[in-house]
A = this chain, B = another copy of it.
Amino acid sequence: MDLERSPLAEPFPEMPPIAGVTVRVARARYKDWDRTDLTFVELDDGTAIAGVFTKNVCCSSEVEIGRENVRQGRARAIVVNAGNSNAFTGYRGREAVEQVSEQVAAQLACPKSEVFVSSTGVIGVPLPKDRARAGVEAALNASPCGWREATDTIGTTDTFAKAAHAAAMLGETRVEICGIIKGSGMIAPDMATMLGYIFTDARIAPSLLQEMLDRANAQTFSCITVDGDTSTSDTVLLAATGRAENPMIETWDDAGADALYAAIADVCRRLAHLVVRDGEGAQKFIEIAVAGATSDESARRIGLAIANSPLVKTAIAGEDANWGRVVMAVGKAGEPADRDRLSIGFGGVWAARQGQPVADYDEGPVAEHLKGRDIRVDVELGMGDGRATVWTCDLTHGYIAINADYRS
């Protein structure tokens, strides 16, 4: 099935190399296709690593092992397989991951816990060990490539290549942050896997790097949804090579910590938005800002209840300012809310205030706003100071076409 490029796609950005990061790609032929499908990222000795992983309890072996390995805080390599997710493959799947780790560890003379493996694609079929072995071998011997090739190689059903770059000044030292990501929802028989890899040349302690990723994740990747379904393989890794040689950052109080975090969070947010912009069948990018909740977490949950409501998503697809559906979604979120204090707006115009339609509501500008590609929904709960912003896309015939009409 050939998917059309998302109408919400963005061009591939300028992405500088990151000192201490070498990327190579190879053809493992995990599927019967003529494209690179194995990405091998070599990281300089001493690179700090942080990771966040799917909360789906039926996660893949890659996620189980990666979650374990990330605790020791160092990485020498990342291998990404595209075309086979190796999920629901029992002990044979686990063996395949171990084989890849051992092969790379032997080559780099590092502990195998410093090799991180991700896989995305067909489920229920163990990653073929022979193809993985030959693919890794080919990658080890390949010439280094650029970010664009790597992004294309980790992709599966993506309709455009997704990457983001930011820089930060840590005192007098400039550091770079480059991130690539894949994910667009799920297509039979693949999983909706979101795999993201972010690299920086900043020097930072692994424990603080993990705190930064956790904090950024909470406001970015954890605030997006396409259809509310969660892949069993979702992974975001953040690697810091230290090659910029800034003074070591160990705590939030150290000079440069805030600037580095801001740039990392910026890259995470832009990558997260790109995934939504490639949501299956997406025609509109929707930002939902919730304020006045009893806490930030409550605001996030309410935002996601709205973002996951098929009735809200179809209303926006139909360019219908249906604030009643937003009220319904707020009410079903299971969070504190009061119908009679609730206000709902579209594109900066309040349609309902304090649980009632606005008396002199002018639908003109709202109707115009809803015809656009970028939609803004405001929700004011009037309960407290909690706030959150979440992002999603609309639910269209395209989603059904991709997920129901297409057969594996």
Contacts and interface: CB of A to CB of B under 8 A. Distances in A.
Nearest to A408: B320
Interface residues of A, number: 67
B408 A339 contact: no
A124 B88 contact: no
B232 A328 contact: yes
Given A58-B327, A357-B88, A400 B407 contact: no
A186 B332 CA distance: 15
A403 B315 contact: yes
Contacts of A338: 57
Contacts of A89: 356
B404 A58 contact: no
Contact of A404 (B314, B401, B403): B314
A359 to B, nearest CB: 11
Interface centre among A320, A339, A342, A356 (most CB of B within 10 A): A339
A189 interface: yes
Number of copies: 2
Contacts of A88: 324, 327, 339, 352, 355-357
Contacts of A189: 320, 322, 324
Contacts of A227: 309-311
A397 interface: yes
B56 A328 contact: yes
Interface string A321-351: 0111101111110001111101000000000
Contacts of A394: 404
Contacts of A161: none
Nearest to A401: B397
Interface of A: 55-59, 87-90, 123-125, 186, 188-189, 191-192, 227-232, 308-311, 314-315, 317-320, 322-325, 327-332, 336-340, 342, 352, 354-357, 394-397, 399-401, 403-408
28 contacts: A56-B331, A57-B331, A57-B337, A58-B330, A58-B331, A88-B339, A90-B355, A123-B324, A124-B324, A124-B357, A186-B325, A188-B318, A191-B324, A192-B311, A227-B311, A228-B309, A229-B325, A230-B331, A310-B399, A317-B400, A317-B404, A320-B404, A320-B408, A395-B404, A396-B400, A397-B397, A397-B400, A397-B401
